[in-house]
Amino acid sequence: MKRKPTRPPLKGGLDPIGPFHPSLVYAAVLLLDLIGLLLIILILLWIGDLVEDLIWPGGYEWIDF
């Protein structure tokens, strides 16, 4: 049984990831990580706002949820 020939590495020595250049895949992963971090921060701010409203109801709101 013959082995299927593989693609050669790119000029920088990195292997292609599917049909995409490795830098494009790394950028997409970084973007997903930043979106996840933003969601975590927003959830923590929302929980903090709820707790603040329970302790000190009324008053000036810095963050409007």
What is the domain count for the chain?
Answer: 1
Report the pLDDT value the prediction gives residue 15, as an integer from 0 to 100: 77
The answer to whether residue 5 sits within a structural domain is no
Show the domain range for 42: 20-55
Tokens describing residue 40: 């975590």
| Closest to 23 in 3D by CA, of 8, 35, 12, 32 | 12
Report the pLDDT value the prediction gives residue 11, as an integer from 0 to 100: 75
Q: How far apart are CA 21 and CA 47, in angstroms?
A: 40
DSSP string, 1-65: -PPPPPPPP-TTSPPPBTTB-HHHHHHHHHHHHHHHHHHHHHHHHHHHHHHHHHHS-SS--SS--
The answer to whether residue 24 sits within a structural domain is yes
The answer to whether residue 38 sits within a structural domain is yes
Low-confidence ranges of the chain (pLDDT < 50): none
The answer to whether residue 43 sits within a structural domain is yes
Q: Is the pTM here over 0.75, yes or no?
A: no
The answer to whether residue 44 sits within a structural domain is yes
Report the pLDDT value the prediction gives residue 32, as an integer from 0 to 100: 98
